[in-house]
Amino acid sequence: MNLLIAILVLGLISAFFGAILGYASIRFHVESDPIVEQIDALLPQTQCGQCGYPGCKPYAEAITNGEVINKCAPGGEDTIKKIADLLGVDVEPLDENHELDKKPTVAFIIEEDCIGCTKCIQACPVDAILGAAKQMHTIIIDECTGCDLCVAPCPVDCIEMRPIPETIQNWQWDLNKIAVKQLD
Amino acid sequence: MESIIERINQHKFWQFHGGIHPPEQKSLTSDKPIKQLPLPKQLILPLQQHIGRQGDLLVKVGDKVLKGQPLTQSTNTMAVPIHAPTSGVISAIKKSVIAHPSGLSELCIFIDVDFEDTWKPRKICQNFTQLSHQEIIKKIADSGIAGMGGAGFPTHIKVNIKLDINFLIINAAECEPYITADDLLMCEQSEAIVDGIKILDQLLNPAFILIGIEDNKPRAIKALQHATKDIEKIKVCMLPTKYPTGGEKQLIKILTGKEVKSGALPIHSGIIVQNVATCFAISDAVINDIPLIRRVVTLTGRALNKPQNVWALLGTPVSYLLKQTGFSSEIETQISTPLVSNPSIASPPPVIMGGPLMGFSILNELVPIIKTSNCILAPNKTEMPSAFDGNSKEVECIRCGQCADVCPSQLLPQELQWSAKAKDHQQLTKLNLFDCIDCGACAYVCPSQIPLVEYYRIAKAEIRQQQQLDIKSEKAKERFEARKFRLEKEKIVREEKHKKAAAARKAAMSKKSADGSTASSAVAAALARVKAKKKINAKNTNEEIKNGNNLQVASNEESDEKSEVKAAIARAKAKRLAKNNEISEKTATNTEEKKQTNSIDDKKYRIALAVAKAKAKVQKENKEPLPASSDENTAIATTETDDKKARIAAAVAKAKAKAKAKKEQEMQEDLLTVSSNKENLPLKSSNEESE
């Protein structure tokens, strides 16, 4: 009899808590950020396609499907490290097929050479080129991600990548100015 | 609020955390009047001298400008115009080194001074109380006034506030060592400053106006007390000297006991702080219609023979000011050596813009005075050895904690320093790096001589840039996604259009077939014809080639539209050629031609011939029923005549035939052996003619 009571009581208690937990898991369900979005947020969004995918989000999707994490050249080591942290995998060096260029650039159209073919407009992943057929094109510098994709399609080679000029707004204090003396 | 005023009346004040007492060094300049300087030869005016955006240029090179004439106009609320500090001619508008720690160049207007100092027409307003709110704000905005305490926030934005203001605090603390510009201004221009305060009172209507001034300026305090003795609302508060009392949040804490929350603005607590020099500029602008074209600058340091406060026109090069105060030549040679923003130079130049704690070394003597520059400090080796010694004496942090004791923002400087060195931006944000006011108290007390503020500045700039990048990448993502969406939409639209067009075509076709004169039956007939042709070809494989028409037909059979077009061209040419040679070449015989066709096994040549013949035939039909004569006409033309045209025609025909032959290599056998199909020939040629 005692045994039965014990089983009954414990059973009731577990059923009760189970019900509470079950209800809570539905009632307080948290829609967690899908992993694709999280990876996408870490990528630099240059949409350059250097990873072999047509943009940052497709690459993020590919990573969740098992693609290696070291293909993002604009993001560099930092991005790889962050993605590795997120996914709990080992940090890998940047894919040797992808060279690292740290200097941020923007595309520049030599306007007198432009023939208005609109090929670069079609290539731009972020719609940062303004122009129309047989009209001169120009780059919206604030929107350009420096992805390089417009350079190749240009039939007259009038697009070049130029480094972003240093201004007071983006100037960085130079740590090297503070000469650190090493003690013996 | 009453209790606050009571406390103030009893000269009891609150205290902010930390703070330091560095040697004041103010006696160097505090006892000398503000000196008027002769005009410099050239003024260099950076377009942007404040926080915000630069205005749009109103002048061009070669323009003559009058004193006080606006050089830029503001198109944006955050933009502040600049004005010509004296009359002269604009000699250049180009990039030049500006007063910024980076030593970078920005767009500047160069004015060659004409030494006449001719004013633009001015409208002096004797009674500002009659001006409306908007009129005063417009005057302030048009005069280009930006906060003169250091940050340079556009004043017209700060005073255009509709909220209830409890306290208007006038910041006259001037807590940084060496600097006495505000002190002297208060001594000499107390009436004007009080006028400026009255204007602010009119605009903001605060409950009380507190002038916070450190007790190391007895003359200024006396002058202000004298000037404000009739005004109940204004209270001159004598504060104990301590650095950095003049910090906005620190001054608020001392005077009202209120702490401005991290990330919040004083206005959220009903408090506005204005610098005392800004008040003077406001009174100058509103009453005398003098835009912000000059300011008091303390020229100090023991490297100067005559340190003194001066009225400096904005845009005056620092080198000129230093010359006026007897900058010892030994150092001058140092500064004029190529120091142009070269960070690799070991010894930093010994001229500092701003005070010793918050200022920055300037790297070029051409750097001009701007709206926010209050001090030029030229120290000698004994008073500031660190400015001369290129190598920092930084050693490891010994965790003494003195920096945390003196931090007026109650931060943890050593924690910040480690995180800054590790570039751990998240941790820095968590430690409230952005509440750091760059006062330099921590670096001042650091026994390890760690330049803490430098590290914070670097980290702040990095975080700001990272934020910019984040915003940019977010924008890029949005645009990328928008583009993808757009392309997909376009694709769907296009597909639909194609579907519609296809459906329309189908409908049209079925309609036609219903009519009877059918497209489909025509196709069927053509197919039947082709089949029949093939049959006959198979039967007649061994038959001789009788004339060129056979070839023509054969080639026609295999050729597609393209070759037909080519043939048509060749035909037209041959026709012309035949016309030319009609009369002269009538005697040639069929046999000759036959021999040729037999002897020459060059396929291409034969095809060419065939083409030419076909043309000739057509022509023959048109012109005269001369059998074979025109046939050999062409043959002879190709072989014998020098007629250029004929040769060209033949060449073209040949080239075309060659292309055709190449394309139809497998058919060549057939081409050679196939015999004429007499049924088809008239049909074809008639078709061609109709074409």
Q: Are B92 and B26 in contact (CB under 8 A)?
A: no
Question: Across the beta sheet with B35-36, what order do the strands follow?
Answer: B35-36, B308-313, B294-300, B375-377, B352-353, B360-361
Residue among B277, B284, B328, B61 nearest B148 (CA): B277
Residue among B596, B599, B607 nearest B667 (CA): B607
Q: Are A46 and B473 an interchain contact pair (Cβ–Cβ within 8 Å)?
A: yes
Which residues of chain B are within 8 Å of residue A179 when distances are taken between CB atoms? 346, 390-392
Q: Are B25 and B300 in contact (CB under 8 A)?
A: yes
pLDDT value, residue B348: 43
Confidence check: pLDDT of B21 > 60 = yes
A64, exposed or middle or buried, with CB in 10 Å at 0-12, 13-18, 19+? middle
Task: For residue B256, give every residue at least 6 positions away whose Cβ sits within 8 Å of its Cβ, in sequence order, or none.
Answer: B4, B14, B167, B210, B271
Nearest-angstrom CA–CA distance, B557 and B294? 95
Residue among B572, B652, B672, B668 nearest B615 (CA): B572
Element (H, E) at B43: strand B42-46
Q: Are B73 and B83 in contact (CB under 8 A)?
A: no
More confident residue, B297 or B387: B297
For chain B, what percent of residues have pLDDT higher than 70?
74
Q: Which of B388, B472, B490, B491 to mutate to test the interface with A (most CBs of A within 10 A)?
A: B472
pLDDT band at B634 (very low <50, low <70, confident <90, very high): very low
Confidence check: pLDDT of B647 > 50 = yes
User: Could you tell me the two tokens for B471?
Assistant: 């915003």
Average pLDDT (B375-399) is 79
Q: Are B371 and B294 in contact (CB under 8 A)?
A: no
Q: Are A178 and B451 an interchain contact pair (Cβ–Cβ within 8 Å)?
A: yes
B563, exposed or middle or buried, with CB in 10 Å at 0-12, 13-18, 19+? buried
Nearest-angstrom CA–CA distance, B616 and B230? 120
For chains A and B, CB pairs below 8 A equal: 84
Average pLDDT (B193-222) is 92
Q: Are B102 and A171 an interchain contact pair (Cβ–Cβ within 8 Å)?
A: yes
DSSP single-letter state for residue B272: E
Q: Does B102 touch chain A (CB under 8 A)?
A: yes
Q: Does A48 touch chain B (CB under 8 A)?
A: no
pLDDT value, residue B43: 93
Task: For residue A7, give every residue at least 6 positions away whose Cβ sits within 8 Å of its Cβ, in sequence order, or none.
Answer: none
String of DSSP letters for B667-681: GHHHHHH----TTHH
pLDDT value, residue B565: 67
Confidence check: pLDDT of B84 > 90 = yes
Nearest-angstrom CA–CA distance, B199 and B128? 7
Q: How many CB atoms lie within 10 A of CB B358?
A: 20
pLDDT value, residue B194: 93
Backbone angles phi, psi at B549, to 5 degrees: -60, -35
Q: Are B392 and A46 an interchain contact pair (Cβ–Cβ within 8 Å)?
A: no
Confidence check: pLDDT of B668 > 60 = no
Highest mean pLDDT pick, B360-374, B388-402, B429-443: B429-443
A47, A176, A183 member nearest B476 (Cβ): A47
A47, A171, A177 member nearest B480 (Cβ): A47
Parts of chain A with a pLDDT under 50: 175-184
Tracing tokens 């330099």 back to the chain, one arrives at B440
Q: Does B449 touch chain A (CB under 8 A)?
A: no
pLDDT band at B661 (very low <50, low <70, confident <90, very high): low
Task: For residue B291, give every residue at least 6 positions away whose Cβ sits within 8 Å of its Cβ, in sequence order, or none.
Answer: B68, B70, B81, B83, B142, B143, B144, B285
Nearest-angstrom CA–CA distance, B290 and B286? 8
Q: Are B482 and A127 an interchain contact pair (Cβ–Cβ within 8 Å)?
A: yes
Q: Are A55 and B480 an interchain contact pair (Cβ–Cβ within 8 Å)?
A: yes
pLDDT band at B100 (very low <50, low <70, confident <90, very high): confident
Q: Are B462 and A125 an interchain contact pair (Cβ–Cβ within 8 Å)?
A: no
Q: How many CB atoms lie within 10 A of CB B18?
A: 23
Kindly report which listed range (B162-176, B387-401, B495-509) carries the lowest average pLDDT score: B387-401
Q: How far does the CA of residue B125 sit from the closest CA of chain A (Å)?
A: 38
Q: Are B293 and B84 in contact (CB under 8 A)?
A: yes
Residues 455-474 of chain B whose Cβ lies under 8 A from any Cβ of chain A: 457-458, 461-462, 465, 468-469, 472-474
Q: For B357-370, how does the pLDDT look when each residue is reduced to its tens digit (9 = 90+)?
A: 888 888 777 889 99
Q: Kindly identify which residue of chain B lies nearest to residue A43, measuring between CA atoms.
A: B473
pLDDT value, residue B4: 86
Average pLDDT (B502-517) is 79
Nearest-angstrom CA–CA distance, B27 and B40? 27
User: Could you tell me the two tokens for B76?
Assistant: 């944006």
User: Could you tell me the two tokens for B646?
Assistant: 């004929």
Mutual angle of helices B218-227 and B190-204, in 10-degree steps: 60
Q: How far does the CA of residue A5 sit from the closest CA of chain B (Å)?
A: 55
Q: Are A178 and B394 an interchain contact pair (Cβ–Cβ within 8 Å)?
A: yes
**What are the helix (H) ranges across A100-178?**
119-123
Q: Are A178 and B482 an interchain contact pair (Cβ–Cβ within 8 Å)?
A: no
User: Could you tell me the two tokens for B617?
Assistant: 């035939």
Which residues of chain A are within 8 Å of residue B468 when distances are taken between CB atoms? 170
Nearest-angstrom CA–CA distance, B429 and B418? 13
Q: Does A57 touch chain B (CB under 8 A)?
A: yes
User: Could you tell me the two tokens for B368?
Assistant: 């001009």
Nearest-angstrom CA–CA distance, A6 and A25? 28
Average pLDDT (B78-106) is 87
Q: For B602-622, how does the pLDDT look when each residue is reduced to its tens digit (9 = 90+)?
A: 555 666 666 666 666 666 555
Task: Give the 3-state secondary structure of residue B430.
Answer: helix
Q: What average pLDDT is seen over chain B? A: 79
Which residues of chain B are within 8 Å of residue A171 when distances are taken between CB atoms? 100, 102, 104, 461
Q: Which of B97, B473, B485, B487 to mutate to test the interface with A (most CBs of A within 10 A)?
A: B473
Confidence check: pLDDT of B340 > 70 = no
Q: Are A173 and B454 in contact (CB under 8 A)?
A: yes
Tracing tokens 């000037």 back to the chain, one arrives at B227
Using alpha carbons only, how large is chain B's radius of gyration in Å?
47
Which residues of chain A are within 8 Å of residue B390 when distances are taken between CB atoms? 179
Q: Are A173 and B473 an interchain contact pair (Cβ–Cβ within 8 Å)?
A: no
pLDDT value, residue B383: 77
Nearest-angstrom CA–CA distance, B295 and B311? 6
Q: Are A44 and B473 an interchain contact pair (Cβ–Cβ within 8 Å)?
A: yes
pLDDT value, residue A22: 94
More confident residue, A55 or B75: A55
Confidence check: pLDDT of B332 > 70 = no
Q: Which of B104, B436, B477, B486 to mutate to test the interface with A (most CBs of A within 10 A)?
A: B477
A126, A128, A167 member nearest B104 (Cβ): A167
Q: Are B458 and A172 an interchain contact pair (Cβ–Cβ within 8 Å)?
A: yes
Total residues belonging to chain A? 184
pLDDT band at B488 (very low <50, low <70, confident <90, very high): very high
A56, A171, A180 member nearest B392 (Cβ): A180
Nearest-angstrom CA–CA distance, B248 and B81? 25
pLDDT band at B405 (very low <50, low <70, confident <90, very high): very high
Nearest-angstrom CA–CA distance, B165 and B271? 6
Which residues of chain B are within 8 Å of residue A181 when distances are taken between CB atoms? 391-394
pLDDT value, residue B344: 40
Confidence check: pLDDT of B518 > 60 = no
Task: Give the 3-state secondary structure of residue B212.
Answer: strand
Tracing tokens 């000698």 back to the chain, one arrives at B380
Confidence check: pLDDT of B325 > 50 = yes
Task: Give the 3-state secondary structure of residue B83.
Answer: strand
Question: Across the beta sheet with B208-214, what order do the strands follow?
Answer: B234-239, B208-214, B167-171, B271-275
User: Could you tell me the two tokens for A119?
Assistant: 């090929």
Q: How far does the CA of residue B283 sit from the closest CA of chain A (Å)?
A: 32
> Is the Cα dihedral B623, B628, B629, B633 positive or negative?
positive
pLDDT value, residue B413: 94
pLDDT value, residue B567: 67
Total residues belonging to chain B? 691
Q: Does B398 touch chain A (CB under 8 A)?
A: no
Backbone angles phi, psi at A105, to 5 degrees: -130, 165
Which residues of chain B are within 8 Å of residue A142 when distances are taken between CB atoms? 472
Q: Does B438 touch chain A (CB under 8 A)?
A: no
Kindly report which listed range (B375-379, B390-394, B422-426, B553-557) carries the lowest average pLDDT score: B553-557
pLDDT value, residue B83: 93
Neighbouring C-alpha atoms within 13 Å toward the C-beta of B26: 20
Map out the domains of chain B with their CATH numbers: 2-336 (3.40.50.11540), 392-482 (no CATH), 540-690 (no CATH)
DSSP single-letter state for residue B269: G
Confidence check: pLDDT of B333 > 60 = no
Q: Are B73 and B54 in contact (CB under 8 A)?
A: no
Confidence check: pLDDT of B589 > 50 = no
Average pLDDT (B296-317) is 91
Which residues of chain A are within 8 Å of residue B345 when distances are taken between CB atoms? none
pLDDT value, residue B629: 46
